[in-house]
Structure 1
């Protein structure tokens, strides 16, 4: 489930190559926590040693106790300790925040889940095979609308060219609507960032306030998230402390570049937030504990359809159900954006996990193998 973000190195910084640099990466053993966390520490070390992610960060909470673990190095070109619970780009975790605001508006009687989006965004959504009178708000949040994905059409394969480019939401929407519908609304499930771009515009139309303000006031502040924020227009940095993030600058050449600084405007309500593994875990916990939504809307959020990403995964309204090897499931989301991948969530019995690595799977090796290793590490965090 990838939000392929684009980011390149700052002007004057040389493009990095993998050869000769990975040997400088720190192993996590020197920073290991007590023996009770040894299985998770070994998994984090494996993400660095075997899968070649520059760094891995994890936050695990259970019964009121939170532990933060790290592995690797904050930089490829030299050894720099990884900050425990450092800031990372949260990517598509933003979608859950957006979905919560929409569902709060449903609870307030301002939005109907099964109403057509034409009711809230009149005249905006038009295209070949695209009818806003048929697509519902629920279908936007559940990725069953059939709308084409704008991130496939804005040049993300050449990240260096768009790393510092500012995108307006309506330009992103135009990029999507220039292409035909993928399928009839409700016919199947397919991930599309366009759904959450529109959910953000719906929030702005209904509340008459900026989506970033609504997410901040209604979710971030309400959940007590002290290290989560929406970067303001023009802010291409990440607050400190943070590890550097790396990506493939141009898919044609395969060169690896520093992607830490970038313009995240193309992410918007689908992927713009910055957070920490600890805050992402705390958000999932707060959501499942019913502190952000009334019971009726949380129940709607947890009504799922099959999401053929990995076996057993199911998608609700901005929320994914993932099976655990030790039984049961956890509820969360995850995010992929150039420089960072995040995974994790919370269980109904009180466990919560946040995990981040500082490159997308495939940047330094086999993408499928690395992605599965990240998911397996989250499973280890929940099950040991």
Structure 2
């Protein structure tokens, strides 16, 4: 397959030289989004919410070897942003008195994790459990075995077993931060133990339905992304050449509660606005969510934060599923929000792509 030349689909806007200040801001946002595509992306889309209103933009193409524009309302696989939804459900259960942050894994999932009596729910949420990340045990592209697993249904139990067959990353739970997707597979299992319902059903009942996040889904084993969406790709080797394989459709059970969800830039901005605005958790539990797991850290209970170059702290999360990458961050007062999603082309350097994303986030959150 020949990789088509990237086409920049620029949203029509007046030139910056003659535009009103807020229009000039929007022109600059589009320019920054175009830069994300130029850095090494098939397509990208974003939604910014600020005192001027809501801006949505897209750049690049929705599908290689076409000129079809990226849909500004497109659905994408949001990867680890799923973790913030899962953490919110866990903390709601804590608020209801049905679960405690100090409960051990062993008390809810007996025999599932070695030394589970030493690992707490809090440590799963903030990635200080020391459990090995199961993702590191899986084949990755361009390995042929990766593609052979494309339609496989994975159970949380077998993925957790792959993780715990490896030594922990820390001798003592709770002392060191080490990001591990295994933590959230276990949290998904604990939610089911507490409620009697799969974690995805609890997300729907407690979050997506009340907030009317109609474009957000927990797909389970369904391979499709329903509705408008950009195509995502993974690199493969053909006759010594790197080519891109359309990997839009795949069985997302490999991500599970650690990263399987599908959403849009609009729905993610709505979710984080509701979360930070206190609509989903009481103040004391939202404060817990913002508390780092280790001193000086930037990850709490399923919620991350970063300090912008203009000195503003923003809260949210990011996620990747190889074929899709997403970022969603908001100021604490929700006056400024940005969500960005892209489909990598694996030809640019990650550092260059991420620098372009950071520049767009800075423009959105600091302008």
Task: Give the TM-score normalised by the residue count of structure 2.
Answer: 0.91
Equivalent position of 1:146 in the other structure:
130
Equivalent position of 1:208 in the other structure:
196
Q: Aligned to 1:167, which of 150, 154, 172?
A: 154
> Do the aligned partners of residues 261 and 220 (structure 1) sit closer, same or farther apart at CA in structure 2, a change above 3 Å counting?
same
> Do the aligned partners of residues 186 and 291 (structure 1) sit closer, same or farther apart at CA in structure 2, a change above 3 Å counting?
same
1:37 aligns with 2:15: no
Give distance in 1, aligned partners of 2:265 and 2:128: 29
Give distance in 2, aligned partners of 1:242 and 1:31: 21
Task: Give the TM-score normalised by the residue count of structure 1.
Answer: 0.87
For 1:288-343, what per-residue CA distance to the aligned partner results, in whole angstroms no more than 9, with x for missing partners? 00001111111100001469xxxx87001000011112222110011101211000
Equivalent position of 1:178 in the other structure:
165
Shift of 1:277: 1.1
Shift of 1:65: 2.5
Q: Secondary structure at the match of 1:28?
A: coil
Contact 1:31 1:70 in 2 (8 A): no
Give distance in 1, aligned partners of 2:287 and 2:93: 15
Give distance in 2, aligned partners of 1:219 and 1:372: 32
Give distance in 2, aligned partners of 1:253 and 1:172: 32
Structure 1 gaps of 5+ residues are: 1-15
Equivalent position of 1:323 in the other structure:
307
Shift of 1:369: 2.2
1:283 aligns with 2:271: yes
Structure 2 gaps of 5+ residues are: 15-22
1:354 aligns with 2:353: no
Give distance in 1, aligned partners of 2:154 and 2:258: 13
1:380 aligns with 2:363: yes
> Do the aligned partners of residues 47 and 171 (structure 1) sit closer, same or farther apart at CA in structure 2, a change above 3 Å counting?
same
Shift of 1:156: 3.0
Equivalent residues in 2 for 1:28-107, closer than 5 Å: 28-32=9-13, 34-49=23-38, 51-63=39-51, 65-107=53-95
Shift of 1:250: 6.1
Contact 2:45 2:56 in 1 (8 A): yes
Give distance in 2, aligned partners of 1:136 and 1:376: 38
Shift of 1:63: 4.1
Q: Aligned to 2:233, which of 246, 249, 253?
A: 246
For 1:341-376, what per-residue CA distance to the aligned partner results, in whole angstroms no more than 9, with x for missing partners? 00022112221111001127xx12212222232233
Over 2 Å off, 4+ runs: 28-36, 62-65, 156-159, 249-255
Q: Aligned to 2:103, which of 111, 115, 121?
A: 115
Q: Secondary structure at the match of 2:84?
A: helix
Q: Secondary structure at the match of 2:40?
A: coil
For 1:36-72, what per-residue CA distance to the aligned partner results, in whole angstroms no more than 9, with x for missing partners? 31121111111112x1201110001124822211111
Equivalent residues in 2 for 1:206-245, closer than 5 Å: 206-233=194-221, 235-245=222-232
Contact 2:290 2:300 in 1 (8 A): yes
Q: Secondary structure at the match of 1:58?
A: strand
Give distance in 2, aligned partners of 1:275 and 1:101: 17
Give distance in 2, aligned partners of 1:250 and 1:330: 39
Equivalent position of 1:369 in the other structure:
352
